[in-house]
Chains A and B, each alone.
Chain A
Amino acid sequence: MILLLALIIGVLYAAGTYLVLRRSMVKVIFGLIFLGHAANLTIFTVARPTKGVPAFVPENALAIAEPFADPLPQALILTAIVIGFGVQAFTIVLFKRTYQTLGTEDLDEMRSTDTLE
C-alpha cells in the first residue's frame, strides 16, 4: 500500500518537474499544482496512513482508542493546501495580467516588460 502511494508520489513529482520546465506559463502553473499535491501526499505517506477510523474522539468517551489516523500530518496538510491555493490563485491572476499586457504566455519572451507593446 505504501509502495503504491510512493509510486503515485513519484509520478506526481515527475509530472510537476516536467511541467515546471516548460515555456508555457500555464503549464508552469499546472506544474506548481502538481508539486503541491505531491508534497502533501509525501507528508501524508511518510506518517504511515491508516485505513478508515478518522481521528475523532467518540461521543461519550474521553479519548480515542487505537487504531486511528494520525491527526498531526492531516493538520499540516490542511494548512499547506490552503496556502497552496492562495499561491495558485495569485499565479493564475498574475498570468491573466501578464497575458493581457504582453499578449504571450511564452516565458522566453517575458524577459522584460518593455520589449513588447
Chain B
Amino acid sequence: MLSLLVTGFLASALAPVLYRRFRENFGWIAVIFPLFMFFGFLSRYPEVAAGEVIRESVPWVPSLGVNFSFLLDGLSLTFALIITLVGAAVFLYAGAYMKHYANTGRFFLSIGVFMTSMLGLVLSDNMLLMFVFWELTGISSFLLIGFDHRKESARRAALQALLVTGGGGLALLAGTILLHRVTGSVEISSFYGMSGIITSHALYPAIAILLLFAAFTKSAQFPFHFWLPNAMEAPAPVSAYLHSATMVKAGIYLIARMNHEIGGTPLWQDTVLIAGTATMLFAALLAFGQTDLKKLLAYSTLSVLGTLVMLLGIGSELAVKAFFIYLIAHSLYKGTLFLVAGTLDHETGARDVMKLGGLRRAMPVTAVTAALASFSMMGIIPLVGFIGKETVYKAILELEYWGVFLIAAAVAANAFIVMITLFVGFKPFWGETLLTPRPPGEAPLKMLIGPALLAVLGLLFGLFPGVFIAVMLQQSALSILSETLSLKISIWQGFNLVLLLSFVTLLLGGVLFLVRSRMPERLLALRAPALLKPSAWYEGSLRLLSSLARLQTRLLQNGYLRNYIIVIVVTAISLASFALYRSAGRFVLEPAVAVTFYEVALAFIIVVSTVLLITSKSRLKSIVALGVLGFSIGIIFVIYGAPDVALTTFAIETLNVILFVLVLYRLPRFLKLSRSSNRVRDSLIAGGVGVFMTLIVLYATSFELSPELKRFFAAASLPEGKGRNIVNVILVDFRALDTLGEMTVLAIAAVGIFAMLKLRTRGRA
C-alpha cells in the first residue's frame, strides 16, 4: 500500500508535464491513474470479503512510534473504492471541464495529491501518519478551493476552509498524543480490546472531545458547517469530489474508525448524536433560501453528513447498516449531481436554478443522468437511495426515548432534500424553456461518461444490493462495532410505517418545492442576525486575532531600542530572581582574604568615576571618567595575579579614550533628552539589575569550584604547550581556534570601520 501511495504522489507530480504535452485528451490519460488504483483495491476485495484484515508496516521513525503502517479492512476498503471510483469519474470529467482554465496542469497536480492523501488517510493504521494525510487533504483542498486565485472570494473561502479544518487537524494531533499517554501506542490496531482502559482513564473526556472536534470541523458539522457552502468557489469537479464524495467524509471516517475503542460512552454517543441531528436539520432549513445550484447541493450535502453522524451517534446495528448504505448512496448520487451542475454551468453559463428550465431537448443525456441520480437522492424505489433512506428511518424508529423527535427531524430534513433535488435535478431540464446566457448544447463525451457511470451504479446497487453491498457491509460493521451482524439487505420490505414515512417525505418535499417556486424573492431577503451565525463568529475571531497581533507588535516591536531592552531585562531578571529566591539558603559569605585599603580605595574610585560619567554634561569629562574606570579595573587585575589581562586592559582603554576623543571632542555638550519620569523608571530597573547581578555572583561563589581545569592547564602548559606563561599558552595553543575567531571578529570590525570612514553617501561630499 505504501508503494501505491508513493506511485500516487509521483504520478501527481508528473501531471503538469504530461498536461503540457497531451492537452487535448488529457482526461483519458488522467483517468488511468484512479482506475489503476481502483482495480488495485478491487483485487483485494476477495481477501477482505473473506474477513481478512490486511496489514502492512514500514518503519519511519520507530523511536517515536511513527510508522508507515496501513490497515485494509471492510471500512477502509469501502472508502478506498469510493475515493478511486468517484475519482475516475471526476478526473475524466475535469479533462474537458478544466480546459478553458489557466494552469490546468497544476489543477491535476493538486487533485492527484488530494486523492493520494485521502487514500492514505483512510488506510493509515498509525494515527500520526493519519494526521499527516489529514493535513495534506486540507492543504490540497485549500489549493483547489482557491484555484481561481484572482477572485477574492475564492481566496477567502480557501483560507476559511484551511483554518477551520486545519484547527481540527491540530485537535487530532493533540488527541493522538493524549491517546499515546493512555495506551502507549499510536497504532489504531493496537487499541483493539483497550476500550475499557481508554474510556475509564482520566484523560478520556479530553481525548473524546479533541477527536470529535477534529471530525466535526472536517465533516462540517454544526457549528463548523459554514466553510462548506463557501468552498463552492472551487471548480465543479472539486466540489463533486472533495466537498461531497470524499474529503468531507474524513471526519465521519474518523468517528467510525474510533467508534469501538473510544465510543460507547454517553459523552461520545450523545455529542455525536446531537451534533449530527442539529446539522441534518439546520442545513436542510438553510437550503431553503438558496437558488445557486452548487450552494443548494452543498446544503444538502451538509444535511446528509449530519444524518451520517447522527447514525453513528445512535450506534445500533441497524444504524451502522443505514450509515453504510447511505454513505455509498450519497457518494454516488451527489457526485453525479455536482458534475451535472458543473455541466449546466459549463454549457449554459448560468448556475441560478430560477434561470434554468426546459433544457432536456438540448441536453438529453445529462437530463437522464440527472433524473437517475435525483431519484436516488429523493429515495425512490428501486435506487440505492431508497434503501438508504428506508434503513435510516428504521434505525431511528428503533430508538425508544428520542425516536419521535428524531424521526420528525429526519422526515423534515429529507423533505427539504427532496425539494433541493426537484430544483437541481428536474427544474433545469423540464418545464418551460428559459433563455440562458449561452445557447445550450450537450456536453462533450468526457463530461457525460463519469456522471452517467455513477448514476447507473446507483441503480445497479439498488436493484442488486445483495451482490454489491451485503458483503462489504458485513465487514465494515465489524470494523465499526467489532461484532458481526445478522443483517440482511433487500430493496422491498413490504408495506409498513417506514414506507409510509417515505411517501410523506416525498409529498412534503413536493409541497415545499411548489411553495418555494411561487414565493416572492423579497421574503427570502430576511437574514438571521449576525450574532447567531457561526460564520460571523469566525470572522470576529479572525479580526480579534489580527488586532491582538497589532497590539502586541505595537507593544513589543515598537522600534525603540530601550523598550526592547527593558522587556528583555525585566523578564530575565524576574524569572531568574524567582529561581534565586527559592535557593536563598545557599548564601555563605566568607571573606577568604582580608580586604586591604587599596581595594577599598579602588572601589571608591570606580564608583566616583561611574557617577561622574553618568551625571556629567561635558563629553570630555565623561571620556576621562571612562578612562579612569578602565584603568581602575586594570589595577584590579594586577592585584589578583592577572598581569596579561591588566596589560591588555591598559592598552585597550588607552586606545578607547583616544578614539572617543577623536570622534567626540567637537560635539556639543550632552542634552538632557529623557523625561525625569523615564529617568526614575530606568534607575529602578538598573538598580534591580545591579542588585541581582551582585546576588548572582555571591550565589555562584558559594559553590565549591572544581580545580580540575586549573590543574590540567598548569601541568600541561610546559610539556605540551612549550610555554611558561600559562595564560598565553592557553590562548595560542589549547584554545587557538578561539583566538582565530577573535582575530576574525577584529578583522571584520576593521573592514566595517574602514568602509564607514571611506564611503560617502551618493550626492554628498
Question: Interface of A with B (CB < 8 Å)?
Answer: 1-24, 26-28, 30, 33-34, 37-38, 40-42, 44-59, 62-64, 68-72, 74-75, 77-79, 81-90, 92-97, 99, 101, 105-108, 111
Contact = CB atoms under 8 A, between A and B. Distances in A.
Interface stretch (B123-131, B428-436, B458-466, B739-747): B739-747
A75 B629 CA distance: 21
Given A48-B705, A69-B640, A90 B752 contact: yes
A1 B116 CA distance: 73
B288 interface: no
B730 A50 contact: no
B701 A45 contact: yes
Interface string B679-709: 0001101110111011011101100010001
Contacts of B629: 34, 37
A13 B610 CA distance: 11
A24 B671 CA distance: 8
Interface string B604-641: 00110010011000010010001001100100110111
Contact of A77 (B569, B630, B645, B673): B645
A89 B649 contact: no
B569 A1 contact: no
B752 to A, nearest CB: 5
B714 A55 contact: yes
A17 B569 contact: yes
A57 B686 contact: no
Interface centre among A40, A92, A101 (most CB of B within 10 A): A92
B673 A23 contact: yes
Contacts of B659: 88-89, 92
B633 to A, nearest CB: 5
Counting chain A CB atoms within 10 Å of each CB, which of B642, B705, B742 scores highest? B642
Given A46-B701, A75-B731, A92 B660 contact: yes
A34 B607 CA distance: 12
Contact of A55 (B565, B639, B667, B726): B726
A97 to B, nearest CB: 5
Contact of A54 (B589, B613, B643): B643
A42 B693 contact: yes
Interface in B538-594: 559-562, 565-566, 569, 589, 591-594
Which 9 A-B pairs rank lowest in CB-CB distance, beginning with the nearest? A14-B690, A69-B641, A10-B694, A49-B640, A18-B686, A86-B749, A10-B690, A23-B673, A75-B730
Of B559, B603, B637, most A-chain CB atoms within 10 Å: B637
B697 A9 contact: yes
B689 A2 contact: no
Given A1-B599, A68-B641, A77-B645, A93 B614 contact: no
Contacts of A107: 560-562
A93 B663 contact: yes
Contacts of B700: 46
A72 B689 contact: no
B694 A54 contact: no
Nearest to A10: B694
B686 A81 contact: no
B166 to A, nearest CB: 37
A12 B614 CA distance: 11
B58 interface: no
Interface stretch (B15-23, B484-492, B717-725): B717-725
Contact of B746 (A49, A83, A111): A83
A85 B652 contact: yes
Contact of A21 (B566, B606, B660, B756): B566
B52 interface: no
Contacts of B641: 49-55, 68-69
A101 B613 contact: no
A106 B673 contact: yes
A21 B565 contact: yes
Nearest to B641: A69
Given A8-B606, A52-B641, 14 more contacts: A4-B599, A6-B697, A9-B694, A10-B697, A22-B674, A41-B633, A45-B697, A46-B697, A58-B724, A63-B714, A70-B710, A72-B709, A79-B735, A106-B671
B401 interface: no
A21 B562 contact: yes
A42 B697 contact: yes
Given A7-B694, A89-B753, A44 B718 contact: no
Contacts of B664: 26
B727 A33 contact: no
Nearest to B592: A1
B445 interface: no
Contacts of A20: 562, 565
A48 to B, nearest CB: 6
14 contacts: A3-B591, A8-B636, A9-B694, A15-B610, A45-B697, A47-B705, A68-B714, A86-B749, A92-B659, A93-B663, A93-B752, A93-B753, A93-B757, A106-B671
Interface string B640-660: 111111001100100110011
